[in-house]
Amino acid sequence: MSDGGTGIEALISLISRLPGLGPRSARRVVLMLLKKRTTLMAPLAQALSVVAQSARDCTLCGNISTDDMCDICTNTQRRSSGEICVVEDVADLWAMERGMAFQGCYHILGGTLSPLDGIGPEDLRIPDLVVRVEAGDIREVILALSATVDGQTTAHYVAESLEASQVRVTSLAQGVPIGGELDYLDDGTIKAALRARRPLF
């Protein structure tokens, strides 16, 4: 390599592992950072270091946060809505938030039930959800899980687990590719799917 310095090469190699970036764009990114060492590179390094050390799962919903509880869970207005939207992962939560259609709280399962991959209920945050619903003033649980077989199996399992609590369980409108694909939907579609939610059983 002609640019000299293994540190810079190592940086390029790390940056190229980010989504949407290959070696060529990584090189451009690093070159730009090097040109803006004080105004961009140093603050970025500082921010990365702070978040790397403090990032953890929200103890209530599983969202990624730099505190024990995330901004959504500490928002009393959202807590008092009595609505919990159940999603598979953080990307889905972020997609829902981007649409600004939902004003309640979330619960991240961490995946879907998948017997073939050996993923059972105890591997997901389903027991936590049951505890949460039974402990709090929850009016409605909205399931926003994938339209895949695993996603729908999980939705039914969650609904059954919540049966004893007598909470209202709904699901986002059918036919909408949600779950893993929630991130690719435009905000209007997410809003429409939320408005058209229906009881699961």
The binding site for Zn ion (CB under 5 A) comprises 58, 60-61, 63, 70, 73
Q: Smallest distance from the beta carbon of 200 to Zn ion, in angstroms?
A: 23
Residue 127 Cβ, how far from Zn ion at the closest point, in Å?
Answer: 17
β pairing state of 64-65 and 105-108:
unpaired
Residue nearer to Zn ion on the CB measure, 11 or 70: 70
Nearest to 103 by CA among 126, 76, 129: 76
Report, in Å, the least distance between residue 21 CB and Zn ion: 29
Question: At 152, is the secondary structure helix, strand, or coil?
Answer: helix
What are the backbone dihedrals phi and psi of residue 151, each rounded to the nearest 5 degrees, phi first? Answer: -65, -45
Give the other-Cβ count within 10 Å of 156's Cβ. 16
CB of 145 to Zn ion, least distance (A): 18
- Residue 137: name the closest of 99, 84, 70, 200 by CA: 84
Identify which of residues 70 and 159 has a Cβ nearer to Zn ion in the complex: 70
Give 63 or 154: the residue with its C-beta nearer to Zn ion. Answer: 63
- Give the whole-angstrom CA distance, residue 174 versus residue 3: 54
Nearer to Zn ion, 70 or 85 (CB): 70
